[in-house]
Amino acid sequence: MTEFYNRHYITIDTRSRIVGGWSDGPHPDRDTTGAICINEQGGYQFRLFPGGEENPPLYTVDGIPLYKWEGGQVVTRAEAEIAADRAAIPEPPPSPQEQLRADVDFLAAMQGVSL
């Protein structure tokens, strides 16, 4: 009997951070153009490491990649790298309520009124 394997793939961004990962088991028709095959003899579910967690999270809760592709292998990113990415996230724009409050405060200041 012939053993059947699935291939496991990752995609990386311009900084070699892993931004996607899948197995061709549940995703046999997914386009692999530009993807890196990290395991040609994997199981049905995606794993970053042999014997590792099935379908592991690839991002922190705030959307920062946890892993990178370095030297032909998957590497866990250092906390300092993750912290640098987190620090580079721009501040969100003010909510409509915050903007309204700022506008009211500005108008009050222009009229010399204290709120």
Angle at 95 between CA 91 and CA 101, to 5 degrees: 115
Domain range list for the chain: 6-87
Angle at 100 between CA 99 and CA 106, to 5 degrees: 90
Q: Tell me the pTM.
A: 0.78
Paired residues of 3 in beta bridges: none
DSSP label at residue 94: P
pLDDT above 70: residue 115: no
φ, ψ of residue 27 to 5 degrees: the values are: -125, 60
Tell me: the pLDDT tens digits for 93-112?
Answer: 889 998 899 888 888 888 87
The residue type of 107 is L
Tell me: the pLDDT tens digits for 49-88?
Answer: 989 999 999 999 999 999 999 999 999 999 999 999 999 9
Instruction: Give the number of other CB atoms < 10 A from CB of residue 21.
Output: 20
